[in-house]
């Protein structure tokens, strides 16, 4: 049962992610001559894909093993296959918030919990799971064979702050 729930959760965390409307940094006039180009959804995705490729090489051959075994500091997604955890991080977490991996992770040590947003993301994962638990118990929803689920992008839709008006 727990296994099934986890599998479903993992599936929705990943599949439910719509390539929403990622937050775009407003082009800054003074930046044109600078070497650092403003972040666009495409450049953010490129950065994230590069991180995923780098880590995928490091765990090569262990993609199907549980993330809790392959990585150092997994608390929620222990039984998720390591390769799938990277997909969730990329297409789930990062895309839902419109950020690069280093918004949550220390670049030199992804297992570190030093960044507040990473710790917040764990609390968010717990909240999102409890909302899904409650949804699954509701009696008066129109039945859906797939069930009723929310995921990170249900609220965030490409923005760090779902409450901000400029998205
Ligand atoms: C919104 C915050 C957030 C973003 C963005 C994010 N992550 Fe994570 N990441 C987490 C959290 C939280 C965990 C711990 C999950 C757990 O405890 O189950 C984690 C764990 C990991 C781990 C395991 C590290 C270890 O050794 O314990 C890897 C690898 C990882 N993420 C890669 C990535 C990559 C690659 C990206 C970008 C494509 C990314 N993450 C983007 C929040 C984030
Ligand atoms: C029910 C709506 C909802 C869902 C679902 C949700 N969030 Fe959030 N999230 C919020 C709200 C609201 C805030 C607080 C925004 C604020 O006031 O700063 C927030 C804040 C955050 C922050 C802190 C950002 C910062 O820098 O302060 C992170 C990180 C985050 N969410 C990640 C996630 C991840 C990852 C998921 C999916 C596992 C998720 N959220 C699912 C509503 C949601």
Give the count of beta carbons closer than 10 Å to the beta carbon of residue 44: 21
Q: What is the pLDDT of residues 67-91, one digit of tens each?
A: 999 999 999 999 999 999 999 999 9
CA–CA gap between residue 58 and residue 123 (Å, rounded)? 28
In the chain the first and final C-alpha atoms are separated, in Å, by 38
CA–CA gap between residue 22 and residue 92 (Å, rounded)? 12
Q: What is the predicted pLDDT for the residue at 164?
A: 86
Work out whether the CA dihedral 107, 110, 116, 118 comes out positive or negative. Answer: positive
Question: Cα of 120 to ligand 2 centre, how many Å?
Answer: 7
Q: How confident is the model at residue 38 (pLDDT cuts 50, 70, 90)?
A: confident
Question: Cα of 73 to ligand 1 centre, how many Å?
Answer: 9
Any residues with CB less than 8 A from the CB of 80 and at least 6 apart, and which?
6, 10, 66, 67, 88
Mean pLDDT of the chain: 84
Comparison of pLDDT for 100 and 23, the residue scoring more: 100
Regarding the beta carbon of 121 and ligand 1, being less than 6 Å apart is answered yes
Question: Cα of 115 to ligand 2 centre, how many Å?
Answer: 15
Give the count of beta carbons closer than 10 Å to the beta carbon of residue 70: 18
For ligand 2, atom 27, which residue shows the shortest CA distance? 117
Q: What is the predicted pLDDT for the residue at 39?
A: 86
Contact 128, 151 (CB under 8 A): yes
Give the count of beta carbons closer than 10 Å to the beta carbon of residue 128: 19
Q: Report whether pLDDT(123) > 80.
A: yes
Task: For residue 103, give both structure tokens.
Answer: 């918004």
Comparison of pLDDT for 31 and 48, the residue scoring more: 48
Give the percent of the chain with pLDDT over 90: 71
Contact 6, 125 (CB under 8 A): no
């Amino acid at each position: 049962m727990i296994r099934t729930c986890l599998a479903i959760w993992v599936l929705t965390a990943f599949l439910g992610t719509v390539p929403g409307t990622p937050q775009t940094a407003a082009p800054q006039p003074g930046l044109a001559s600078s070497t650092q180009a403003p972040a666009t959804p495409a450049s953010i995705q490129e950065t994230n894909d590069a991180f995923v490729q780098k880590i995928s090489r490091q765990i090569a051959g262990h993609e199907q093993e549980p993330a809790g075994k392959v990585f150092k500091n997994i608390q929620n997604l222990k039984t998720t296959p390591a390769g799938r955890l990277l997909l969730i991080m990329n297409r789930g977490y990062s895309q839902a918030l419109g950020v690069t991996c280093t918004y949550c992770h220390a670049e030199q040590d992804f297992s570190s919990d030093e960044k507040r947003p990473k710790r917040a993301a764990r609390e968010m994962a717990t909240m999102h799971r409890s909302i899904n638990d409650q949804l699954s118990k509701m009696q008066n929803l129109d039945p859906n064979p797939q069930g009723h689920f929310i995921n990170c992008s249900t609220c965030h839709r490409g923005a760090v702050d779902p409450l901000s008006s400029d998205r």
